[in-house]
Amino acid sequence: MRTLIRPTAFIDSPFGYDGQVARLAGGLNWFAAVELLEVRDDKRVSSKLIAIQDLQTHLDDELAIQWDRLTSVRPPLKLGERTVRLDQPQVMGIVNVTPDSFSDAGELADPSDAALAGARMAEAGAAIVDVGGESTRPGAKAVWEGDEIKRIEPVIRQLAAGGVAVSVDTRKADVMTAAIAAGAKLVNDVSALTYDQRSAEVVGSAGVPVVLMHHQGPPETMQQDPRYDDVVVEVYSWLEERIADAEEAGVDRANTLIDIGFGFGKTVAHNLELMNNLALFHSLGCPLVVGASRKRSIGALSNEAPADQRLGGSLAFALKAVEQGAQIVRVHDVPETVQAMKVWRGLRDQALTPRI
């Protein structure tokens, strides 16, 4: 049996509530209560709602560690010469240099077009541009490392030369090595360093941050009847193990980000359950990356809208994520998402302006 802490009862402003509210992960969100979740065999068995001012009497050693991680400031990402602050939500733009991307039908398969698209994303306000050369959509087949490198290397090199903070979306050690040499400063691995046994060594040796994403099964089969007894707790426990494994392999915990893996081996119900409980994952102590942009769940909830007509749903999920403290939202539609984040930030700034 163990207990997990999920922040809830979010409020607009902390003013006048000393000792009654807490700040989530050093960001712009404040909460007045937590849900203490009793867990047995990776399944929630009971819960209790506790006001912040009453929480101290419930904190044993393990919960004290979770509480410290929930409320600690997330240091900025050092991506070469660029610094990305994590005390406010940031946008990561997606550049798929693939002929079979689910979201754009291979529009950016040409490296020159991809590099131009990435530069425009940066100009529009993306703090990071994520470049990938292998589709990991449901049913996608693996791509040979040589082909993947050939697709992404010129794009990363051109973007990095232009001052863009670039991440590489790959699960292969050789591709990571080539991308880092070309100028990538962050690795985004959908397999959480489990696909290639050499990948943790590459990331650890390079000293670059890495995103560990949850998945259930490989892309070829992950959407063939995914099952969980309790998706929230199982994903939490899995990520907890991957963080520990990466740290043991030489990856600095301070360089680790996590992603719940929206749509990777999950039904619509699983995805929605994870999004509703996203704040829980801050107790793992790592910045949260959320990538729900244009995903299949949006189509399922909106009369099967095709991928290029899912902007509204993508923005809804992005705002849901930042309302629960997600530090990075990974999106296809950068200008629209940046605008949504600016409006959200304006609302937060106004709420956090002292009234007296």
Would 178 be classed as within a structural domain? yes
Quick one: pLDDT band at residue 101, thresholds 50, 70, 90?
low
* 295 labelled catalytic: yes
Task: State how far the Cα of 254 lies from the Cα of 319, in Å rounded to an integer.
Answer: 26
Gyration radius of the chain over CA positions: 20
Would 356 be classed as within a structural domain? no
Using the predicted structure, report yes or no on whether residue 109 has a pLDDT greater than 80. no
Using the predicted structure, report yes or no on whether residue 355 has a pLDDT greater than 90. no
Q: Verify that 28 and 113 share a domain, yes or no.
A: no
Percentages (nearest 5) of helix, strand, coil residues in the chain? 40, 20, 40
Using the predicted structure, report yes or no on whether residue 106 has a pLDDT greater than 80. no
Q: Verify that 9 and 147 share a domain, yes or no.
A: no
Q: Verify that 276 and 139 share a domain, yes or no.
A: yes
Distance of CA 138 to the CA centre of its chain: 19
- The residue ranking higher by pLDDT, 113 or 126, is 126
Among 295, 296, 310, 348, the active-site one is: 295
HEC secondary structure over 201-242: HHHHHHCCCEEEECCCCCCCCCCCCCCCCCHHHHHHHHHHHH
Quick one: pLDDT band at residue 136, thresholds 50, 70, 90?
confident
Q: Verify that 226 and 280 share a domain, yes or no.
A: yes
With a pLDDT cut of 90, the percent of the chain lying above it is: 87
Q: Verify that 322 and 176 share a domain, yes or no.
A: yes
What pLDDT, in 10s, does the model give residues 213-244? 999 977 777 788 889 999 999 999 999 999 99
Q: Verify that 199 and 292 share a domain, yes or no.
A: yes
Q: Verify that 232 and 311 share a domain, yes or no.
A: yes
Residue 280 has what pLDDT? 98
Task: State how far the Cα of 156 lies from the Cα of 179, in Å rounded to an integer.
Answer: 7
* 40 labelled catalytic: no
Q: Verify that 149 and 51 share a domain, yes or no.
A: no
Length of the chain as a residue count: 356
Using the predicted structure, report yes or no on whether residue 107 has a pLDDT greater than 80. no
CA nearest to 287, candidates 262, 321, 314, 317: 321
What is the extent of the structural domain holding 48? 2-71
Does residue 258 contact residue 243 with C-beta atoms inside 8 Å? yes
Among 151, 294, 330, 348, the active-site one is: 330
Phi, psi of 187 (to 5 degrees): -110, 130
Please identify, among 18, 47, 71, the residue that sits at the C-terminal boundary of a domain.
71
Q: Verify that 200 and 335 share a domain, yes or no.
A: yes
Q: Verify that 206 and 99 share a domain, yes or no.
A: yes
- The residue ranking higher by pLDDT, 141 or 55, is 55
Does residue 107 contact residue 97 with C-beta atoms inside 8 Å? no
Quick one: pLDDT band at residue 317, thresholds 50, 70, 90?
very high
Does residue 251 contact residue 293 with C-beta atoms inside 8 Å? no
Compute the average pLDDT of residues 310-315. Answer: 98
Would 50 be classed as within a structural domain? yes
Which token pair is 28? 């712009």
Helix-helix angle 311-323:334-351, to 10 degrees: 30
Task: State how far the Cα of 213 lies from the Cα of 291, in Å rounded to an integer.
Answer: 10
What pLDDT, in 10s, does the model give residues 264-285? 999 999 999 999 999 999 999 9
In sequence order, the β-bridge partners of residue 168 are 131, 187
Would 316 be classed as within a structural domain? yes
Using the predicted structure, report yes or no on whether residue 105 has a pLDDT greater than 70. no
Sign of CA dihedral 302, 313, 259, 81: positive
Does residue 167 contact residue 130 with C-beta atoms inside 8 Å? yes
Sign of CA dihedral 283, 5, 277, 244: positive
- The answer to which of 142-146, 179-183, 289-293 has the lowest mean pLDDT is 142-146
CATH of the domain at 103: 3.20.20.20
What pLDDT, in 10s, does the model give residues 29-87? 999 999 999 999 999 999 999 999 999 888 999 999 999 999 999 999 999 999 999 99
Would 336 be classed as within a structural domain? yes
Q: Verify that 24 and 166 share a domain, yes or no.
A: no
Q: Verify that 66 and 84 share a domain, yes or no.
A: no
Would 327 be classed as within a structural domain? yes
In sequence order, the β-bridge partners of residue 158 are none
CA nearest to 148, candidates 135, 158, 130, 159: 135
What average pLDDT does the chain have?
A: 94
Residue 135 has what pLDDT? 83
Would 173 be classed as within a structural domain? yes
Please identify, among 71, 91, 106, the residue that sits at the C-terminal boundary of a domain.
71
Residue 100 has what pLDDT? 58
Using the predicted structure, report yes or no on whether residue 137 has a pLDDT greater than 80. no
Residue 274 has what pLDDT? 98
Please identify, among 45, 71, 97, the residue that sits at the C-terminal boundary of a domain.
71
DSSP letters, 27-43, are: SS-EEEEEEEEEESSSS
What pLDDT, in 10s, does the model give residues 158-208? 999 999 999 999 999 999 999 999 999 999 999 999 999 999 999 999 999
Residue 141 has what pLDDT? 81
State the total domains in the chain: 2
Report pTM: 0.95
